[in-house]
Structure 1
Amino acid sequence: MPIRLRGASRDTATLPTACIYVGPRSRFANPFRAGDPAPSPFGPPMDAAETVDLFAATLRGPIGRFYAARFARALRGLDLMCTCPLDVPCHADMLLRLANEPGDGYTISSLEGP
């Protein structure tokens, strides 16, 4: 089963495993960042878990489903690398579930919860 690794985009070339970088400035990056303002105008800044939830919700939307399908095909069977610490929630975990769900394709349910 593929795993999430921590590192920068340049680190993927040195690994003996099939790995792709999904962190900042990649086409798979989470556009939402911890510390960004919450979607609610009076909410506190978002934490890491909230940004992952918001990214997953975006991929469940009408346009996001198209990207979710493309991401699932492109990432299937690969380890994913991001700059997030391994002990905090990261969108790479959600992308791993999306890309490696059993069956012949992705399902939007794979974007919900751990």
Structure 2
Amino acid sequence: MPQRIRRQRTKGWRMPEGAAYVGRGSRWGNPFTLGGPNGLACVPGAVTGADWEYEDRISAAGMRHDFFHADDRVTRCEIRNLTRDEAVALYREALIGGSIVHLRRPRLRLGPRDNPVTVDTVRVELAGRDLACWCPLDQPCHADILLEIANAEVKC
């Protein structure tokens, strides 16, 4: 069964033959990061009522702003960075919901528009392969989502 491999920078380490690198910088990379200046942040359920949701604008952790709903309600939000679990969940949602290219944040450089990451491309290109990423093996990673989708039995 294909598995996730943690990529390493140690001397002499080589990626196993046939394994695919799926970290950032590859077309398979997760654009949802755990912090930093890219503005990937969460607000507490302003739209869906969930505990958290993706906030589609550039904001830094600790900032506050008003979130304007379509029904004219306004929710005061305090921005926080995504957790690892949330970043993986958003990747799953975006991939299963259509494709990674079709996220609303075009400036994230999610891959060439003529080469989208979809469930079908994952199944075709990653099925049966080990996947390498930098995430610790004992923590959630978007590569787990890719492995699950790539190696799932397709029901007709």
| TM-score with structure 1 setting the length | 0.76
Tell me if 1:77 matches 2:113. Answer: no
For residues 32-73 of structure 1, what are the alpha-carbon distances to aligned partners after superposition, in whole Å with 9 as ceiling and x for unaligned?
Answer: 111242224534211111001001111122445971211121
Contact 1:8 1:81 in 2 (8 A): no
Tell me the equivalent position of 1:33.
33
Question: Where does 1:43-54 land on structure 2 (aligned, <5 Å)?
Answer: 43-54=79-90
Residue in 2 that maps onto 1:57: 93
Whose strand fraction is larger, Structure 1's or Structure 2's?
Answer: 2
> Which one of the candidate residues 83, 89, 97 is aligned to 2:148?
97
Greater helix content:
1
Please give the secondary structure, in 2, of the residue aligned with 1:26.
coil
Is residue 19–residue 79 contact of structure 1 (8 Å, CA) maintained in 2? Answer: yes
Name the counterpart of 2:108: none
- AA aligned to 2:6 is R
Unaligned residue ranges in structure 1 (runs of 5+): 106-114
Q: Work out which of the two has the higher radius of gyration on C-alpha atoms and give 1 or 2.
A: 2
Q: Percent of counterpart pairs with the same letter?
A: 35
**Higher deviation after alignment, 2-11 or 76-85:** 2-11
Q: Could you tell me how far 1:6 is from its partner in structure 2?
A: 0.3
Relative to structure 2, which stretch is displaced further, 93-102 or 41-50? 41-50
Partner amino acid, structure 2, of 1:49: D
Unaligned runs of 5+ in 2: 43-53, 56-76, 101-115
CA distance in 2, matches of 1:83, 1:11: 14
Q: Residue 11 of structure 1 aligns to a residue in which SS? A: coil
Aligned partner of 1:110 in structure 2 is none
Q: Which runs of 4+ in 1 moved over 4 A?
A: 63-66
**How large is the Cα RMSD of the aligned pairs?**
2.5
* C-alpha separation in 2, matches of 1:79 and 1:89: 16
